[in-house]
Amino acid sequence: MGIAKEGIAKIFILLVAALLFALSSLKIIASFLFLIALFLIYFYRDLQRIPDREKGVVSPADGIILEVEDVFDGDFFAETCKKISIFMRIYDVHVNRMPLSGRIIKITNRGEKLYPANDRRASELNKSRTYFIELEDGKKMVLRQIAGIIARQIVSYVKEHNFVRRGERIGIVQFGSRVELYIDRNLKTFVSVGDKVFAGKTILGE
């Protein structure tokens, strides 16, 4: 198990502070800081993942499936597409991964609200970052990271024009959030609302 780089400095500072308070005989404060550090180690964990199959759309996030439905999203698709929403709970791994290999055409930011990430309003109104992706076969895919009521920062590991392989890390949303995938409506899905999925491992469909 690795630690996402965004958490390393925070964890180090907390552990050093806990040690200093412990040496000063302020054991209650030291214990509190140590517990916070343990939580951050758990939250920022970054596990190695191998997809369940050689082919298929891998989940971009750990969490629970909120929606699997056909929608019209005029931002990128000229027709109805398949939307899969995943709610990342506070204790899920929060590193997000690429569902299929493709090139990042454009990255945009929008929204400012902070509704709970499992609220439908979060999809349109919350702070979010959207990746517009061209797949190897020329088809389109959209991936959206959405901040929740606790999350305040979305960090990208990729930039526009980068080619990113299936299963590679693309970013992290810190402290509870939601990820949405928009893809060809002909996708044969293998998941349903309520299913638990794992980023870079669970196959959502083909």
What residues act catalytically? 177
- CB of 84 within 8 A of CB of 185? no
Token reading at 50: 């191998």
Cα–Cα distance, 61 to 54 (Å, whole number): 18
- CB of 125 within 8 A of CB of 111? yes
Q: Give the three-class secondary structure for 204.
A: strand
What are φ and ψ of residue 70, in 5° steps? -90, 130
